[in-house]
């Protein structure tokens, strides 16, 4: 009850005696009549009302404070309840995922098959990995438009229904080839080969970036290119620079690693390699030391020689099967172009042959400056005198000159190389170069 209500009750109680006296006087005339309340009585009653109201205000304030406290506590508990519900929802999601994983581990395995033909919208002819062929249905969630001939699929163990599509089977050796990183190499870091770089980019880069130019002129772009020349002249470096500048997939193939002792395995690996490249276009296949499998064929030989010849024939077949405007290009490199089979060198397979010769004096100057750019030098370096003493040195030898100059500085406990270090280094490399035999071949 609030203060106003208390005041009303008190006032009624104060007037009750006067009211009761009036009633009794009416019913009993002989009784003595009560006089109305005096001024003193009303003052005392007013004082009592005020005191009762003041005593009720602290109770009201106390009740309001308690209500506010309970309201704040209620809101805090509601926030905690909301957070707990969100936590329960997250735990339920984790529980569902864990339950699905457990069911996957406990579920029955599936059979790997291959689609042979589509009969109608719902039925397919598939060949299981064990050998038999079946007419099976397809799961509703599987895109039937992608189920073409040769697609690998997973079949249910009991009903043989197509459950899902599988990626193409890739030989581990081919997969390891795809992991080869060409590195961050640009053409500015290759010296003395400006003409060779231009010819290579015309064959590889131009058809991949602007194929419409060839359609407009009405010619077919080249399929591949052969890089040949002495060792250490930059054939591999050119191939890496092309792949790095185009940001394409890069398959680096060591030709000697393809040859297998089992009959047919080498040819299968060639098919896997080109199939992987076509599915991951644009792609550049770089086959180094191609003379390991591309040598001239002859009638006599051992079984190993015949296996190499079968590998070469499969390579020729894959080169003939290329789409002219496809985004797969092949680069081959060798030190012995005179030993290659003529069928491999004919136009239509390797359309352009680029010789990577030993660098001339201008090229040696460019290569030497590129390799010496990051070296700490003491004083001015006369590169011309170093270049004049580096006759018949290739790019790898010039890089070795810079390395040897740095080693001479380290031996003398110095932090920079000087002119004398370069002079001693080029003499040392030139002396060791005499031990190498000179490779003679006819220009293609």
User: Into which CATH architecture does domain 173-355 fall?
Assistant: 3-Layer(aba) Sandwich (3.40)
Q: Would you give the distance in Å from CA 362 to the centre of its chain? A: 41
pLDDT at 181 (0 to 100): 75
pLDDT string in tens for the chain (444-residue length)? 444 444 444 444 544 443 444 444 444 444 344 445 454 454 455 555 455 555 568 888 888 888 999 999 999 999 999 999 999 999 999 999 998 888 777 777 888 999 998 888 889 999 988 888 999 999 888 888 888 888 899 998 888 899 888 888 777 777 777 777 777 788 888 888 889 999 999 988 888 888 889 889 988 888 889 999 888 888 888 988 888 888 788 888 888 888 877 778 888 888 888 888 888 888 889 999 898 888 888 777 676 778 888 888 888 888 887 666 578 889 999 988 888 988 888 888 888 999 998 888 888 899 999 999 889 988 888 889 999 988 888 888 999 999 999 999 999 999 999 999 999 999 999 888 877 766 666 676
pLDDT at 425 (0 to 100): 93
Burial state string for 259-285 with b = 16 or more CB within 10 A and e = fewer than 16: eeeeeeebbebbebbbbbbbeeebbbb
pLDDT at 322 (0 to 100): 62
Each domain of the chain, given as residue ranges in start order, spans 3-86, 111-165, 173-355, 361-433
d(CA 170, CA 289): 23
Q: On the CB side of 177, how many CA atoms lie within 13 Å of its CA?
A: 28
Q: Which class does domain 361-433 fall in?
A: mainly alpha
- Contact 282/242 with Cβ under 8 angstroms? no
User: Into which CATH architecture does domain 111-165 fall?
Assistant: Beta Barrel (2.40)
| Bond prior to 282 in cis (omega within 30° of 0) | yes
Helices (H), 323-388: 342-345, 361-371, 383-388
Tell me which residue of 314, 249, 322, 318 sits closest to 285, measured CA to CA: 249
Mapping DSSP to helix (H, G, I), strand (E, B) and coil, where does residue 333 land? strand
Question: How far is CA 16 from each of CA 13, 30, 113, 181, 247, rounded to the nearest angstrom?
Answer: 5, 21, 105, 108, 106
pLDDT at 57 (0 to 100): 82
- Share of the chain residues as helix, strand and coil, in percent rounded to the nearest 5: 55, 15, 35
Domain 173-355 and domain 361-433, same fold? Reply is: no
């Amino acid at each position: 009850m609030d203060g106003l209500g208390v005041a009303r009750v008190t006032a009624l109680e104060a007037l009750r005696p006067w009211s009761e006296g009036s009633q009794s006087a009416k019913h009993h005339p002989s009784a003595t009549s009560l006089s109305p309340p005096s001024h003193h009585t009303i003052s005392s009653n007013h004082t009592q009302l005020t005191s009762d109201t003041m005593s009720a205000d602290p109770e009201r304030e106390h009740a309001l404070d308690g209500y506010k406290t309970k309201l704040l506590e209620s809101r805090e508990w509601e926030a905690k309840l909301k957070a707990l519900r969100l936590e329960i929802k997250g735990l339920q999601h984790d529980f569902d995922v864990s339950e699905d994983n457990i069911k996957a581990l406990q579920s029955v395995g599936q059979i790997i098959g291959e689609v042979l033909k589509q009969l109608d919208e719902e039925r397919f002819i598939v060949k299981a990995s064990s050998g038999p062929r079946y007419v099976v249905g397809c799961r509703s969630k599987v895109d039937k438009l992608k189920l073409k001939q040769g697609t690998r699929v997973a079949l249910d163990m009991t009903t043989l229904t197509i459950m899902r599509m599988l990626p193409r089977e890739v030989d581990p050796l081919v997969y390891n080839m795809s992991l080869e990183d060409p590195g961050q190499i640009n053409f500015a870091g290759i010296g003395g080969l400006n003409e060779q770089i231009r010819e290579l980019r015309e064959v590889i880069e131009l058809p991949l970036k602007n194929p419409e130019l060839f359609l407009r002129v009405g010619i077919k772009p080249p399929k591949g290119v052969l890089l040949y020349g002495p060792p250490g002249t930059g054939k591999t470096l050119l191939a890496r620079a092309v792949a790095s500048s185009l940001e394409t997939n890069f398959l680096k193939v060591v030709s000697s690693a393809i040859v297998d002792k089992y009959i047919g395995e080498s040819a299968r690996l060639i098919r896997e390699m080109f199939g992987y490249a076509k599915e991951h276009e644009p792609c550049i296949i770089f086959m180094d030391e191609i003379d390991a499998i591309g040598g001239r064929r002859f009638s006599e030989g051992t079984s190993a020689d015949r296996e190499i010849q079968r590998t070469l024939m499969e390579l020729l077949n894959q080169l003939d099967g290329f789409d002219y405007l496809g985004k797969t290009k092949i680069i081959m490199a060798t030190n012995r172009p005179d030993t290659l089979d003529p069928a491999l060198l004919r136009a239509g397979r390797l359309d352009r042959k680029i010789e990577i010769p030993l660098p001339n004096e201008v090229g040696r100057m460019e290569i030497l400056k590129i390799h010496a750019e990051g070296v700490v030098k003491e004083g001015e370096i006369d590169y011309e005198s170093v270049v004049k003493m580096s006759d018949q040195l290739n790019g790898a030898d010039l890089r070795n000159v810079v390395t040897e100059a740095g080693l001479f500085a380290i031996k003398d406990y110095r932090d920079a190389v000087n002119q004398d270090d370069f002079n001693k280094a080029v003499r040392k490399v030139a002396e060791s170069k005499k031990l190498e035999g000179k490779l003679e071949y006819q220009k293609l």
